[in-house]
């Protein structure tokens, strides 16, 4: 089994103006799925990928997070910049130190197959040189000036560059650190600083989807090939968590719920900050992973957890799951009780928890029709359901 020594940066932050589909290009549908989902799927088939970094528009971070959580590769998401080069610069910030090889790929080359990524990575691994995939030029090429043809160019030494382009991480990082002007590809940037570039055969499926005609060509190609290469997803595991806290008799006690402070609301009692949503969420994740519950992992009555925030438990839990080789698909939480009213802040809670968990967290609320301790506003309950997946080792 080859080493997992490759980080793949996928740039998906462009506006897709030439495609003109009314959405950033990577988020436009090709068949049933977006261009970016196809790209992620193909990269997930690589044996040597260790991490994926997606540079996406700020407006599409949540959508990208959901896509990332459906893939079996550990994925980071960064916000792209004004140019392709700036998007890559942002992505390179989160590459783990010590990663040997980085491949940079356009999300717009959505049908580039895993074997192309492996071919480029193998060349970098074996030669130590930056490597790009290239295609021969099929048409006769002319040099023109105004409306006159000057000459026919000898095309035997010309090639069309594709992505993924591969580099030893240190070389690419150094190039980006000293990059002044904008280059159209990464090989040109590295070469401008004296780096040597190798080429390996490209793949016709790695063409860039720029216009509607390209999208139609990709649709045709996909229709021919999807039947042959079904995508396999690992089986998800589910978990459940419940937490109940009593409302405090102290009117000054602040309410922390869903890792947010709720001004004007009476707080919940508890050894920690009483954040029932955070605690139910943590139990659901630990239960899905077979890692016990919040009490067994954190000993919630231990002195160091007195007043501890929900964030602390969630971050600790995500860390435990990641060490144990799990990735979160999503978590759904429901609170049961009369107050606080959730609707006005639902999105804020969902956004905060989604950020902490690194996968979509959704929130619902209900009352008990006045029945029981929850109906009498003695306390608040939360129930959570988590779905996680074990990463391929
Ligand atoms: N890209 C990026 N950040 C930018 C610009 C481009 O991440 N600021 C990415 C695009 O998402 C794409 C790749 O770089 O995957 C190649 O760019 P291109 O094909 O030009 O895509 P767009 O810029 O989206 O398209 P257009 O130029 O038609 O607007
Ligand atoms: Mg562009």
Q: What is the pLDDT of residue 172?
A: 97
Ligand 1 contacts CB of residue 90 (under 6 A): no
| pTM more than 0.85 | no
Q: What is the pLDDT of residue 235?
A: 81
Ligand 1 contacts CB of residue 81 (under 6 A): yes
Report the chain (393 residues): mean pLDDT per 10 consecutive residues. 87 97 97 96 95 97 93 94 96 95 98 95 96 93 96 93 98 91 92 95 94 97 68 80 97 95 95 94 98 91 84 92 90 97 95 93 96 97 96 63
Choosing from 11, 13, 14 the residue with most ligand 1 atoms within 8 A of its CB, the one to mutate for a pocket test is 14
Distance CA 85, CA 177 (A): 12
* Nearest ligand 1 atom, CA 83: 8
Ligand 1 contacts CB of residue 78 (under 6 A): no
**E strands, the chain, where?**
6-11, 29-30, 33-34, 49-56, 75-79, 101-106, 130-136, 141-145, 148-153, 159-161, 165-168, 197-201, 237-246, 255-257, 260-262, 326-336, 361-366, 379-390
Ligand 1 contacts CB of residue 28 (under 6 A): no
With both helix axes pointing from N to C terminus, report the angle between 61-69 and 346-357 in degrees, rounded to the nearest 10. 50
Output phi, psi for 176, to 5 deg: -70, -30
Q: Decide if 91 contacts 48 (C-beta within 8 A).
A: no
Partners of 356 in the β-ladder: none
Partners of 9 in the β-ladder: 53, 104
Distance CA 219, CA 5 (A): 32
* Nearest in space to 108 (alpha carbons), one of 12, 219, 221: 12
Length of the chain, please? Answer: 393
Going by C-beta distance under 8 Å and a sequence separation of 6 or more, which residues neighbour residue 284? 239, 240, 241, 331, 333, 384, 385, 386
In order of start, what are the domains of the chain with their CATH numbers?
A: 6-225 (3.90.550.10), 237-390 (3.30.1330.50)
């Amino acid at each position: 089994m080859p080493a997992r020594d490759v980080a793949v940066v996928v740039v998906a932050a462009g506006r897709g103006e030439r495609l003109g589909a009314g959405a950033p290009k990577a988020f436009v549908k090709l068949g049933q799925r977006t261009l970016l989902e196809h790209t992620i799927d193909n990269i997930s088939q690589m044996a040597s990928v260790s991490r994926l970094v997606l540079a996406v528009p700020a407006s599409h971070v949540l959508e990208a997070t959901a896509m990332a959580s459906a893939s079996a590769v550990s994925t980071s998401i960064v916000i792209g910049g004004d140019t392709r080069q700036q998007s890559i610069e942002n992505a390179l910030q989160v590459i783990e130190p010590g990663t040997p090889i980085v491949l940079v790929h356009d999300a717009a080359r959505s049908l580039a197959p895993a074997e192309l990524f492996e071919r480029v990575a193998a060349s970098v691994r074996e030669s130590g040189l930056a490597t790009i995939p290239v295609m021969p030029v099929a048409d006769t090429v002319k040099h023109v000036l105004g409306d006159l043809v000057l000459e026919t160019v000898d095309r035997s030494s010309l090639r069309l560059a594709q992505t993924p382009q591969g580099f030893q991480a240190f070389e690419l990082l150094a190039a980006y650190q000293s990059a002044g002007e904008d280059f159209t590809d990464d090989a040109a940037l590295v070469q401008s600083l004296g780096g040597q570039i190798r080429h390996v055969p490209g793949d016709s499926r790695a063409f860039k989807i720029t216009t509607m005609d390209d999208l139609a060509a990709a649709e045709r190609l996909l229709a021919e090939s999807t039947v042959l290469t079904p995508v396999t997803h690992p089986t998800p595991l589910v978990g459940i968590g419940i937490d109940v806290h009593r409302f405090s008799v102290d009117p000054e006690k602040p309410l922390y719920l869903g890792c947010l402070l709720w001004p004007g609301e009476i707080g919940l009692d508890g050894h920690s900050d009483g954040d029932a949503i955070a605690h139910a969420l943590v139990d659901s994740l630990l239960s899905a992973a077979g890692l016990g519950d919040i009490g067994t992992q954190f000993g919630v009555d231990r002195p160091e957890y007195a007043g501890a925030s929900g964030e602390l438990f969630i971050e600790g839990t995500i860390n435990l799951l990641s060490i144990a080789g799990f990735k979160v698909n999503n978590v759904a939480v429901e609170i049961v009780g009369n107050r606080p009213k959730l609707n006005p802040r639902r999105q804020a809670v969902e956004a905060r928890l989604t950020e902490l968990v690194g996968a979509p967290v959704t929130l619902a609320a209900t009352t008990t029709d006045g029945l029981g301790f929850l109906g009498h506003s003695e306390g608040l309950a939360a129930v959570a359901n988590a779905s996680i997946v074990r990463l391929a080792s």
